[in-house]
Amino acid sequence: MSMMNKIMDKDSKYILELYIDGETFISKRAIKSIEKICKNELNNNVKLTIIDIKKNPEFLMKENIIAVPALVRLNPLPKRQIIGDLQDYQRILRGLDIG
Amino acid sequence: MKNMEKLSTGIKGFDDLLHGGLPKSKTTYIMGAAGTGKTMLATQFLYESALLKVPGILVSFDESKEDIIGNFQSIYMNLNEMIENKLLSLTHIFFDENTIAESNNFTLEGLKLRLEILIDDIGATCVVLDSFQTLFDRFSQSINYRAELSNLIHWLKEKKVTTVLTGGLEDNNGLGVESYLVDCVVVLDQRVKGQLSTRRVRVVKYRGSSHEINEYPYSITSKGILLSPLSSLDLSHKVLRSRVSTGIPSLDTLFGGEGFYEGSSILVSGEAGAGKSSLSAHFIRNICSNNQKAIIFLFEESEDQIKRNMLSIGIDLQVFVDKGLLKIFALRPTQKGLEEHLLNMIEKIDSFKPNAVVIDPITSFWSNDVDFAIKALVTQIIDHCKMKHITGMYMHLMHGMDNITEKSTLISSLIDTWLVLRNREKDYRRYRELYIVKSRGMPHSLSVHKFKMTNDGIIVESNVNDE
């Protein structure tokens, strides 16, 4: 598995995966945004994996990825997928059930 | 116009509308409301291609793989076999409510990559996305979804795959797939008229190719989508010179002693009770007695009724049914959509391969509220029989003698022999009379002849003035 970035904590409450397509402008914006959320809102109590779909196409089927960037919340359940470059801070928090 | 490469849909009548088939390596959009058979048409195309060893993939956004396979099992298409032979792959991509689009900045690279994997896996050259509408709706709250979807269509073109997208009809806001993005647009339509549901297909556009522009009836049958082929409508078919008896020796004499031409079409007009069915029964008895096959399509009587009635004039149809020489189908025009009846008739004719066909009466398809397309289909059946050298006898039920030319002329150009039966009253008695309006290519009687219905059948009196 290729990981561009990884923030780990043993008791991570949140397990997130961010799917991107190469190092595009949109990808970079999405990464920047989710890292900010992890730090500011989740106190780094999160396991975040960033996955490039071209390098790891097998993950496309597993998480039913169609559009990218896509942020998948694996934990807590239920699974949730947020599509886009993650610029609407409030919407992301709502989508992740934070706050 | 330069001939473009086309891919047969495997449905003969549909290929005819498309003047050959779908545009190869290009995109076709099949539009239609729920229940019009979009999925069936698209999947049938993949199945037929697979039969010709052309591999294809179906990506469904609506139905599970098992459901699709199950649906097609019921129309005798074994998709599993094609899947095992790597000629077909089915994938279900679903969206649940836990997937949300957060912003306008996304691409469909994930889907493209998945399609690419599926395409490469079996070397597919055909792709069906069913329904494209579902994909469309999923992302329609974002601003850039249209750009992304057109991007996807362009990408499919670059991949050089023949693509079929399905979707609903455009709504009033013009939402739907922009038709300028695709090369061919087909509209499937289902409408209700006089409590009868009818289905129509129309090719709206076909970039770089000619196509039929009218609406044509189609039907969803136990064998999938059925459209009647158009190609036989030219007049280049060969005619037979051999003759076939009318089954009534005294009637044969009015046709120079030899009866009808084999493979010709005969119209028998008459009011109720004029003896039309009896006349056709004589004809059928003669055919089957010579060990040839025949079909009778009944629209106003049951099979039992006609057997009983014909027995009263000494004709036992059951004998021929038992021998497997005669098939009788009693149908109600209101039971199904009219086009379904007509298409089924063509199917039955093609599988039984009879020497003669009787449609009694053909006027069931002729009432005033029957539209042009149905009339065209009736013409097609007559034409179809002619092409296959099947002698066709068509019963024309008249209401009063006044309208004899009006309705019949609709098909009169296709009719080779036209007989009229009528009842006359004179001195408190009724007489049966018949005369020949026309009989192409042979000398025939020009007189009005009296005829009798006896226990031994019809006897036509010769007319002294005729000789």
Q: What is the pLDDT of residues B43-95, one digit of tens each?
A: 999 999 999 999 999 999 988 989 989 888 887 788 999 999 999 999 999 87
- Provide the CB-side half-sphere exposure for A31 (13 A, CA): 19
Residues of A in contact with B94 (CB under 8 A): 64
CB-based contact (8 Å) between B103 and chain A?
A: yes
Q: Which structure tokens are listed for B174?
A: 């013009």
What is the pLDDT at residue B178? 66
- The mean pLDDT of B169-177, rounded to a whole number, is 55
**Helices (DSSP H) in B74-108: which residue ranges?**
79-84
- Sign of the dihedral defined by the CA atoms of residues B179, B182, B186, B192, in that order: negative
Please, what is the Cα angle at B335 between B331 and B340, to 5 degrees? 80
Q: How far is A58 from chain B (nearest CA, A)?
A: 9
Distance CA A77, CA B281 (A): 75
Residues 45-84 in A contacting B (C-alpha not used; CB under 8 Å):
53-54, 57, 60-61, 64-70, 78-84
Can you tell me the distance from the alpha carbon of B22 to that of B18, in angstroms, rounded to the nearest whole number? Answer: 7
3-class DSSP state for residue B210? coil
How big is chain A, counted in residues?
A: 99
Q: Which residues contact B33 (CB under 8 A, 6 or more apart)?
A: B168, B169, B188, B189, B190
| B64 part of contact set with chain A, CB < 8 Å | no
**Is pLDDT above 60 for B432?**
yes
User: Would you say the C-alpha torsion B105, B107, B108, B114 has a positive or negative sign?
Assistant: negative
Residue A95 is nearest to which of B93, B102, B114, comparing CB atoms?
B102
- Helices (H) and strands (E) counted in chain A, each on its own, are 3, 5
Least Cα separation, residue A94 to chain B (angstroms): 10
What pTM did the predictor assign?
Answer: 0.70
Dihedral angle over CA of B345, B346, B351, B357, nearest 10? 70
Helix (H, G, I), strand (E, B) or coil at A88: coil
Say if the Cβ atoms of B105 and A26 lie within 8 Å: yes
Q: Give the one of A29, A64, A84 whose C-beta lies nearest to B93's C-beta.
A: A64
* Per-residue pLDDT at B230 exceeds 80: no
Cβ distance of A84 and B104 shorter than 8 Å: yes
Nearest-CA neighbor of B184 among B5, B8, B22, B13? B22
CB-based contact A19 B110, cutoff 8 Å:
yes
List the single residue in A with minimal CA-CA distance to B112: A66
pLDDT at residue B145 in the model = 74
A21 touches chain B (CB under 8 A): yes
Of residues B257, B265, B214, B255, the one with CA closest to residue B381 = B265
pLDDT of B173 above 70: no
Average pLDDT over residues B322-334: 88
Question: Which of B95, B104, B110 comes nearest A70 by C-beta?
Answer: B110
Half-sphere exposure of residue B384, counting CA atoms within 13 Å on the CB side?
Answer: 22
Chain B interface test: which of A66, A74, A91 (most B C-beta within 10 Å): A66
Size of interface A-B (CB pairs under 8 A): 87
pLDDT classification of B102: cutoffs 50, 70, 90: low
Residue A64's closest chain B neighbor by CA?
B93
Taking contacts as CB-CB distances below 8 angstroms, the residues of chain A near B139 are: 67, 83
Task: Locate the chain A residue with the closest alpha carbon to B94.
Answer: A64
Nearest CA-CA distance, residue A89 and chain B, Å: 10
Cα–Cα distance measured from residue B230 to residue B214, given in angstroms and rounded to the nearest whole number: 12
Predicted confidence band of residue B136 (pLDDT cuts 50, 70, 90)? confident
Out of B206-220, B273-287, B406-420, B435-449, pick the least confident.
B406-420
Please say if the pLDDT value at position B174 is more than 50: no
Q: Which residues of A touch B113 (CB under 8 A)?
A: 53-54, 57, 60
Which residue in B238, B336, B343 sits closest to B14, CA to CA? B343
Residue B14 belongs to what H/E stretch? helix B12-17
Nearest-Cα distance to chain B for A7, in Å, is: 23
pLDDT bracket for residue B303 (50, 70, 90): very high
Mean pLDDT value across chain B:
85
Helices (H), B139-237: 145-158
Measure in Å the smallest separation between the Cα of A5 and chain B Cα atoms.
20
Q: Are B211 and B18 in contact (CB under 8 A)?
A: yes
What residue of A is the nearest CA neighbor of B106?
A84
CA angle B73, B79, B83 (to 5 degrees): 155
Q: Do B113 and A95 touch (CB under 8 A)?
A: no
pLDDT at A4 over 50: no
A8 and B84 in contact (C-beta within 8 Å)?
no
User: What is the residue-wise DSSP string for B47-75?
Assistant: HHHHHTT--EEEEESSS-HHHHHHHHHTT
Yes or no: say if B243 and B263 are a contact pair by the CB < 8 Å rule. Answer: no
* Cross-chain residue pair A84–B98, CB shorter than 8 Å: no
For residue A91, which residues of chain B lie inside 8 Å, CB to CB? 102-103
Cα distance from B110 to chain A (closest Cα, Å)? 4
Minimal CA separation from B35 to chain A, in Å? 27
